[in-house]
Structure formats: structure tokens, C-alpha cells
């Protein structure tokens, strides 16, 4: 006997209620298209709400010489030539409109005395182009989008876990899932599906994602639907994640702390960035600061707990309170630490999936008809290192574009072809897991998997370690078939964790197999056995299942943009 099934039909289904998913849903609703958004965690608390630093657009409010072309050049330079130039053009050229949309929805940006939007420096930008709201920009963006979706009466299911995207003959026709509270099932028929369920950073031990988000759901849903994954080995490790307390390990200390003049020191008190990037020091790129901190710790100059110190205590108290309120608050709450007096202990933390589902630049279509992927689930903008603040603008630009593309696709369908077979497979998968009563514990397998990734595929990688990781992963895969799943009075979290684990295992394999193939050091991808950039590997690596990695050429960079690409100095950039 099956659990009761809720059957819903909609023109477009959006999976994920973070910034990307909501922006797409808003676009559809504003055009009168029938849309439903589903999320596995409360919409007010989507991952987007954690983004602290800001959102990029060449508005030229502070530096009149800034242009979208320069923003594009900085993005491509920072990507170590792995970003798709067309994707970059679409985002940088559409950025100002993305900011206008947010303002139209009521976003409270920080402003200068004369009313123009304030912009700050952030990472390797040539000019000031990061708009912000305190150090909780992502939270304000999420609130703004949630409010706008509510005004438009966008239906949002907050506690539904999608387990399969339903496909027939390479065309999407909906999705299957269950309610996290009561376990009831959902069959959602849709003409088009927009996948906006985040990245895969939670498969490392220390990560800026919360416990049950970014477990690679997007990767698994996409691959089972017939899509491919591009560049999953390119994961950004954010330089400053907290070490303690254990249950909050990896929580980010905003980059704004370095932007405002924070200093990094090792256990010996040395300001170690002078060894790695004497020009830019603490304002170097994320990959370099992470590698520097990792190296200091690895070579024995870290703190006893395995970190380094980030110190803002020399800054005026007022600067800390107005520019870094959230950092101040977080440290008080988590560690009873007063950052106006004491340094913060940090270490690199898995932060952002720069790769993701393979998509076309123009409309983020996946190659499966009617299926699109956006936000951290997609790929193409960031290459081997992303500019701080670029991910938030990507959500707004592609949310709008994909909303329109999905609407057009839905309007152009003469019939929706369904498959009872695909639906049965999705249904049985859930039934089988619920009946699973094996000896293996989902949580301990998840922990084993995170240990494997941290040990063998973290900030620095090599052939031996990656091969060991692959062997250990295969052993964990075998044990996944013997899990026991036990829903209880508190809900069906256990079933969700089992699906998270399946997703994590797939994402881990994709990551290790592409990391093995990328025998070079480029951006965030450090191979100690191949310390140099290999021009022959200026390609995207596309994974389509175990053992299958193809190289894909990247379109050339237009001349006008290439002419603007340069090393960005940080001289004077601490002075805002």
C-alpha cells in the first residue's frame, strides 16, 4: 500500500527556494505563468541568506570609469580562463538590470549621502562594484525576493524533498518527492522544470553550508534525468571558516573582515600573506588566501586547533559595529568572543561549487528538453575561481532569463508526454528506501564520505590521494545499499538523509574523477604533483557518469574584453 500521493499540475516547477529559484518564480508570476516552487528547507532560511559580502554590478556609482566590459574582463581573468565568455557577458551586461529589479522589489541597499547606491571593493575587482546591505546582503536579498513572491501569490511548498525529475524521451514532465513532515508523496506534473537546488560543498567536513543543504541534490537529480556535470572538481574553499564550536565548524567570517583591514597571522605572530602575495596581502584572491592558510597550517605554523588568526581588533570599534555587525554578533553568540579585543581562529572551508550541471550559456538549458539549471546548481560563470559577489548577481540575471525561457518552452508545447514507467521508478525508489532495514547508519556513512573528501580531495590534491579516495568511496558506495531508514514521530528526515547521502556519493565521485583528470594547478584546483598550469587543460571537464569524463573546448574571449584583462593591484583598497 502506497502512502497517499498529492497530485499537482503546473506550467513550470522550480526546485529550490533560494535566490535563483525565487527570482525565476517571480519572473514567471509577473508574466502570468502558472508556477510552483518547492524547497526542502524554509524559504526564509535558504542558503542565499548566508551570503554576506555583496552583489556585483558595474553601476559606476563610485568609480565612474567602471564598465560591464571591465567586470567581464575581471571575471574571466579570475576564472583562470575556464569561464565561458558568453555566460560572463550575459551576467556582467545584465547586472545593472538585476540590481534595478531588486530595487523595484524594495531591496534596502546601503547608500551614499547623496542617495546613490554605495559600492565597495571586494577581492580582485579593478573598481568598486560590490553593492551591499551591511554584511548581510544575501539575507536582505532573500527577504526581498520572499516578499515579492508573496505579493505575487507564488505558491511555495516549504518542506517537500524532490527525489526524481520525471523524464520521457529526453523531455521533462515533472518531478516526484515527499513531504518531510508527514511522508506524504507528491507527483508534480510540469511542462518545464527549473533546477535551483544548490551545489555540493556539504560533502566536505568543514563547509560554510548548513548540515543538510548543498549535499549535491542538483547533481544527482540532473544526472538521473540525463544531464551532465561540468567542472565539479572546481570548488572554492573560502579562506575564513570558523573552527569552533564543532557544530558550527566552517561558518563563514565574511570577507568584509579582510576588506575592512583585517590582518592574518600564524601561530608565531607572522603576517604570513607577505610570503604568498606581498602586493595584495590579505586582499588577495580567495584561492591564494586559502592556499596560504592551508600551507601555514600544514607546515606546522598553525594554531593548536589547526587554524590561523584573523585579527580586526586594531580597527576602530565603530568600523566593526557598522561594517561588520554580523561577524561581531556571530562570534559573540558562537564563542563568546569579542572581536574588538580578540583575534578570530579560522581555517579554509568548502564554500562554493563553481562547476555544476552542464548548461547552455544563452538560456541555461541542460540538453534535456524543458529542464534548466540555475544558481549554484548551474555552471559556466566562475571557472577555476569566482569573484566575490558574482554569485548573487548570477542568480538575478539567470533567474530572469530562465524564467522567460521556461515560459516560452511551456507555451510552445502542444502536449505533455508522460511516462508511467518513469513515475513507477521514482515511486519504487522511495518505497524501497522506506523498507530498508539494513545495519548501516546513514549519518555515519555521510561522515565517512566527508572524511574521504576532506582527506583526499580538499584544498591540495595529488594522484595517490585521489586514487585512495576513489577506492574508499567505492567501499562506501557498497555500504549505502545496506542502510536502515527509520522515519519517526518527528518526521521523515531520516529518508531525506538517505537521499542526501546518495546525492553526496554521486557528487563525490564526479569531483574525484574530474580532479584526477585535471593534471594541473589552476585557480582553486591545486595538484601538488602538477604545480603548473597546463595550457592544454584550458578546457571544461564534463562528467556523465562513473568513469566518463570528456574535455570540452571553451569559446574564445572577444578581443575588446581580452584587452581589458590584467592583474588587479590592491594598493590602497583597504581605504574605502
Q: Is 169 left (phi over 0), alpha (psi -120 to 50) or beta?
A: left
- DSSP calls for 96-134: HHHHHHHHHTT----B-TTSSBP-B--SS-SS--EE-ST
Question: How far apart (Å, rounded) are the C-alpha atoms in residues 529 and 506?
Answer: 25
Number of neighbouring beta carbons within 10 Å of residue 318: 9
Closest by CA position to 534, among listed 522, 525, 552: 522
CA atoms of 486 and 254, how far apart (whole Å): 38
Taking alpha carbons only, the member of 491, 556, 563, 532 closest to residue 86 is: 556
- The gap between the terminal CA atoms of the chain, to the nearest Å, is 65
Which helix (DSSP H) or strand (DSSP E) does residue 86 occupy? Answer: helix 85-104
Distance CA 206, CA 379 (A): 23
DSSP string, 307-339: -EEEE-TTS-HHHHHHH-HHHHHHHHHHH---T
Q: Which helix (H) or strand (E) holds 8?
A: strand 5-15
Q: Are the beta carbons of 55 and 119 closer than 8 angstroms?
A: no
525 φ/ψ angles, rounded to the nearest 5 degrees: -95, 105
Task: Report how far Cα 288 is from the mean position of its chain's Cα atoms.
Answer: 19
Q: Which three cell numbers stand for residue 167?
A: 523524464
Q: What CA–CA distance (Å, rounded) separates 276 from 264? A: 12
For 381, the enclosing helix (H) or strand (E) is none
d(CA 378, CA 463): 27
Under 8 Å between Cβ of 147 and 44: no
Q: Answer yes or no: are the C-beta atoms of 359 and 380 closer than 8 Å.
A: yes
SS3 569: coil
The closest alpha carbon to 456, from 527, 402, 535, belongs to 527
| Cell representation of residue 65 | 570609469
Bridge-based pairing of strands 55-56 and 130-131 is antiparallel
Q: Is 394 helix (H, G, I), strand (E, B) or coil?
A: helix
Q: Taking the CA of residue 57 as centre, how many other CA atoms within 13 Å lie in the half-sphere pointing to its CB?
A: 25
Handedness of CA 144, 145, 146, 152 (dihedral sign): positive
Among residues 163, 158, 155, 230, the alpha carbon closest in space to that of 200 is found at 230
What span, in angstroms and rounded, lies between the C-alpha atoms of 339 and 320? 8
Catalytic residue among 129, 164, 286, 522: 286
In whole angstroms, give the CA distance from residue 68 to residue 55. 14
Is 286 a catalytic site residue? yes
Looking at the annotation, which residues are catalytic? 286
Amino acid at each position: 500500500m502506497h502512502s497517499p500521493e498529492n497530485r499537482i499540475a503546473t506550467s513550470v516547477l522550480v526546485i529550490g527556494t533560494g535566490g535563483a529559484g525565487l527570482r525565476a518564480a517571480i519572473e514567471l508570476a509577473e508574466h502570468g505563468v502558472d508556477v510552483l516552487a518547492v524547497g526542502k528547507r524554509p524559504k526564509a532560511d535558504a542558503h542565499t541568506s548566508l551570503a554576506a559580502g555583496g552583489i556585483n554590478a558595474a553601476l559606476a556609482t563610485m568609480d565612474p570609469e567602471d564598465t560591464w566590459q571591465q567586470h567581464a574582463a575581471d571575471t574571466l581573468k579570475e576564472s583562470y580562463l575556464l569561464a565561458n565568455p558568453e555566460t560572463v557577458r550575459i551576467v556582467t551586461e545584465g547586472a545593472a538590470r538585476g540590481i534595478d529589479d531588486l530595487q523595484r522589489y524594495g531591496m534596502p541597499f546601503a547608500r551614499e549621502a547623496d542617495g546613490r547606491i554605495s559600492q565597495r571593493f571586494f577581492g580582485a575587482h579593478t573598481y568598486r562594484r560590490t553593492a551591499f546591505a551591511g554584511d548581510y546582503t544575501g539575507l536582505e536579498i532573500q527577504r526581498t525576493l520572499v516578499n515579492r513572491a508573496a505579493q505575487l501569490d507564488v505558491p511555495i511548498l516549504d518542506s517537500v524533498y524532490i527525489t526524481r525529475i520525471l523524464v520521457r524521451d529526453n523531455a521533462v514532465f515533472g518531478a516526484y518527492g515527499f513531504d518531510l513532515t508527514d511522508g506524504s508523496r507528491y507527483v508534480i506534473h510540469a511542462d518545464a522544470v527549473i533546477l535551483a537546488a544548490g551545489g555540493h560543498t556539504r560533502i566536505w567536513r568543514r563547509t560554510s553550508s548548513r548540515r543538510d543543504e548543498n549535499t549535491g541534490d542538483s547533481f544527482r537529480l540532473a544526472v538521473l534525468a540525463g544531464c551532465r556535470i561540468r567542472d565539479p572538481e572546481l570548488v572554492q574553499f573560502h579562506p575564513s571558516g570558523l573552527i569552533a564550536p564543532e557544530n558550527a565548524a566552517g561558518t563563514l567570517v565574511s570577507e568584509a573582515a579582510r576588506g575592512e583591514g583585517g590582518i592574518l597571522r600564524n601561530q608565531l605572530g607572522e603576517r604570513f600573506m607577505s610570503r604568498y602575495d606581498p602586493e595584495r596581502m590579505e586582499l588577495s584572491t580567495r584561492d591564494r588566501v586559502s592556499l596560504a592558510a592551508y600551507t601555514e597550517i600544514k607546515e606546522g605554523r598553525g594554531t593548536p586547533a589547526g587554524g590561523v588568526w584573523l585579527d580586526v581588533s586594531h580597527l576602530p570599534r565603530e568600523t566593526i559595529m557598522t561594517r561588520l555587525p554580523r561577524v561581531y554578533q556571530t562570534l559573540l553568540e558562537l564563542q563568546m568572543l569579542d572581536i574588538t579585543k580578540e583575534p578570530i581562529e579560522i581555517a579554509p572551508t568548502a564554500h562554493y561549487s563553481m562547476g555544476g550541471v552542464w548548461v547552455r550559456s544563452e538560456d541555461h538549458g541542460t540538453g534535456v528538453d524543458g529542464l534548466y539549471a540555475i544558481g549554484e546548481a548551474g555552471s559556466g560563470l566562475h571557472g577555476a575561481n569566482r569573484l566575490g559577489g558574482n554569485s548573487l548577481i548570477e542568480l538575478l540575471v539567470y533567474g530572469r532569463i530562465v524564467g522567460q525561457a521556461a515560459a516560452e518552452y511551456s507555451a510552445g508545447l502542444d502536449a505533455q508526454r508522460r511516462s508511467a514507467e518513469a513515475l513507477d521508478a521514482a515511486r519504487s525508489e522511495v518505497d524501497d528506501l522506506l523498507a530498508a532495514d539494513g545495519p548501516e547508519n546513514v549519518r555515519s556513512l555521510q561522515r565517512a564520505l566527508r572524511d574521504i573528501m576532506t582527506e583526499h580531495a580538499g584544498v591540495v590534491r595529488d594522484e595517490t590521494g585521489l586514487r585512495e579516495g576513489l577506492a574508499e568511496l567505492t567501499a562506501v558506495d557498497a555500504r549505502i545499499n545496506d542502510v536502515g531508514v527509520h522515519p519517526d514521530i518527528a518526521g521523515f528526515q531520516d529518508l531525506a538523509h538517505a537521499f542526501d547521502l546518495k546525492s553526496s556519493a554521486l557528487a563525490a565521485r564526479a569531483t574525484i574523477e574530474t580532479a584526477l583528470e585535471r593534471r594541473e594547478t589552476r585557480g582553486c584546483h591545486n595538484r601538488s604533483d602538477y604545480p603548473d598550469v597546463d595550457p592544454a587543460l584550458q578546457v571544461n571537464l564534463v562528467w556523465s557518469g562513473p568513469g566518463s569524463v570528456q574535455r570540452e573546448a571553451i569559446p574564445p574571449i572577444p578581443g575588446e574584453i581580452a584587452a581589458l584583462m590584467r592583474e588587479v593591484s590592491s594598493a590602497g583598497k583597504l581605504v574605502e
